[in-house]
Amino acid sequence: MGESLQSLEQKIIAMLVKEPQSVSELARKLDMRRDFLAGYLESMKDRMLLRLITIGKSHVYLPEEDVKNV
């Protein structure tokens, strides 16, 4: 994996450790396109780095327990 993608993953995980967030929230904070980020987060979920939960009507991501300290 390229260094910039790895640092993006670390940044996303660090943000989600502090607080679960939706794709829209993350996209706004990272200044990224929502559609690109949604696919990227899905990829991270498929690799068991993140999980997706529902809170009310919102779908939010948070890091899997074993990657919080990475």
pTM of the model: 0.84
Helix axes 23-30, 3-18, angle to 10 degrees: 120
Instruction: Write down the CATH number for the domain with range 3-67.
Output: 1.10.10.10
Q: Where are the domains of the chain?
A: 3-67
pLDDT for 2 equals: 54
State residue 68's pLDDT score: 64
Percentage of the chain beyond pLDDT 70 is 90
pLDDT tens-place string over residues 23-47: 999 999 999 999 999 999 999 999 9
What pLDDT digit, counting tens, does each position of 51-66 carry?
999 989 999 999 998 7
